[in-house]
Structure 1
């Protein structure tokens, strides 16, 4: 077996076993592990050196790592007719258009009220659906699978840019810059990212592409509208789960003394039992919402397989 020489050193050629091991590592896993190591190093060095120039690197790594990882995973499961250029446009352009559109509409249409989270859900899911429609309007070969993948890509792009904004807001406090708040925000949003915008827009993308005509033209059918309203409701419930958990805990366990303080405008101190019940309702509600969305997406994905079979 011949050996190769590079830079004056002799190296044995790669064996079939090593080449096979390299091929078995999926790109999404390489992105996740490499990005996670770089993020941890950036966090550590930023805390040690207190170098503010590293903050943009920290924000970008923390905000984009999980969304990019899931888009890479989704791209591996795409239809061959879905080009990488379109996937990139859906992530970057679709994400930015969604964030900009939501910012404008929420600024002018929403005000603090009991239904505000419903408005947030309708607006954000609407702008993501519009961005997906705009970017894929000239695509002629559409399938449910490609709709799910591209919809998820737009959703994860939206989540990445939105998370960057939340991270910067967490950094800026009345006491000055808070790296701890920034890191905590990025960890929380990174853990929740797979179960939010990407999942909801994947459902809409699958429904939108399933409604396409034989010629490939997108249509706003009854199923798409109902899907949009359903996803918006899931979004609203997700955002309001903290308040729902507080309300349920108060209704079920509040004492007469706590009710009197609340009526006077004071926030009563919760008991240990109430804290535990609030946590159960809050986390349990998010789990239920996620399971409903996953089952919904699974049924859409399977319907796409039946169509192509």
Structure 2
């Protein structure tokens, strides 16, 4: 196919220059400074017109910074316009697709988080295919970058929604909840949607041949695997509550819990819940990072030399 580039190896990444290798750090520093200044001014003045600025800056800062870092380090040959399309268009397509499917397919049940994981990972994978189908590239490196970019767009738009919901309360606008939500989601963004979509994107582009995406067994298995990570991530809070109830609850608390009511926890149970929830998120994050490391190590392994053919 004319213009098609097969770049399967991480070592093929374009060389960086000093002039462009630290733009991501400048973007993050300036963005963080502007976000912090907006938060302080909003608290001091009570000007609610600044709330959208806090929401947008806080939701997009970390995802956008990671995309710029990945572009400068591994994907300078793709062009910023391609990554911008994957971030913006891909992120919106993913969010819209997931929202429509979840409204019809998700209902409260023991398998709810599994369904959500399957839907959202499928939506992001579909968005990645749609926005990158005309790109004449393949290989793990490009797949990791493009997948992470779509995941970053999805994470940014989703975080903006969570931040918007957090700021609304029965007592009016809650800036404290807004800031807390944005800090938490910003810290967790790299090991959530961005990491999962990078993994499945890397495998998808590794299996690409002749400009065509192939949903081979490795791609399907990877999609199911990141969906499981997604489901475990979403369910850590519920698992933490269940563990606390099973290990520390009194008889009357257990009775209320079994009836579907949440008893008022004591201070020890609150600390245990935080510990279990944090450990659960760490375990899921480490699982995803280990998976990513294994993909990169396998791709960097030296290619066995071909033995010369024996003379007839």
TM-score normalised to structure 2 length: 0.87
Which residue in 2 is equivalent to 1:95? 91
Give the distance between the partners of 2:287 and 2:205, measured in 1 at CA: 21
2:141 counterpart of 1:145: yes
Which residue in 2 is equivalent to 1:18? none
Flag the 1:265–1:53 CA change in 2: closer, same or farther, 3 A: closer
The 5 A counterparts of 1:276-291 are: 276-291=271-286
Which residue in 2 is equivalent to 1:250? 245
2:124 counterpart of 1:128: yes
Give the distance between the partners of 2:181 and 2:278, measured in 1 at CA: 17
Give the distance between the partners of 1:177 and 1:280, measured in 2 at CA: 29
Which residue in 2 is equivalent to 1:83? 79
Which residue in 2 is equivalent to 1:303? 298
Which residue in 1 is equivalent to 2:150? 154
Which residue in 2 is equivalent to 1:230? 225
The 5 A counterparts of 1:173-188 are: 173-188=169-184
Instruction: Show CA shifts across 1:215-269 (max 9, x none).
Output: 2321000111111111001001101100001112222232323223334554333
Which residue in 2 is equivalent to 1:200? 196
Give the distance between the partners of 1:151 and 1:304, measured in 2 at CA: 17
Which residue in 1 is equivalent to 2:308? none
Name which of 101, 104, 107 aligns with 1:111: 107
Deviation at 1:306, TM superposition (A): 3.7
Instruction: Show CA shifts across 1:199-221 (max 9, x none).
Output: 000001101011112x2321000
Contact 2:155 2:194 in 1 (8 A): yes
Larger Rg: 1
Flag the 1:24–1:104 CA change in 2: closer, same or farther, 3 A: closer
Flag the 1:25–1:210 CA change in 2: closer, same or farther, 3 A: closer
Contact 2:159 2:185 in 1 (8 A): yes
For structure 2, list consecutive stretches of 5 or more residues without a partner in the other structure.
Answer: 1-17, 305-312
Flag the 1:108–1:263 CA change in 2: closer, same or farther, 3 A: closer
Contact 1:91 1:156 in 2 (8 A): yes
Give the distance between the partners of 2:301 and 2:213, measured in 1 at CA: 20
Give the distance between the partners of 2:108 and 2:166, measured in 1 at CA: 21
Which residue in 1 is equivalent to 2:6? none
Flag the 1:136–1:264 CA change in 2: closer, same or farther, 3 A: closer
Contact 1:78 1:145 in 2 (8 A): yes
Give the distance between the partners of 1:131 and 1:90, measured in 2 at CA: 8
SS at 1:82 equivalent: coil
Name which of 71, 74, 79 aligns with 2:70: 74
Give the distance between the partners of 2:183 and 2:30, measured in 1 at CA: 16
Name which of 32, 55, 58 aligns with 2:54: 58
Which residue in 2 is equivalent to 1:217? 212
Deviation at 1:159, TM superposition (A): 0.5
> Which deviates more, 249-258 or 59-68?
249-258
Deviation at 1:308, TM superposition (A): 8.2
CA RMSD of aligned residues (A): 1.9
Give the distance between the partners of 1:175 and 1:63, measured in 2 at CA: 23
> Which deviates more, 175-184 or 287-296?
175-184
Which residue in 2 is equivalent to 1:36? 32
Give the distance between the partners of 2:205 and 2:298, measured in 1 at CA: 12
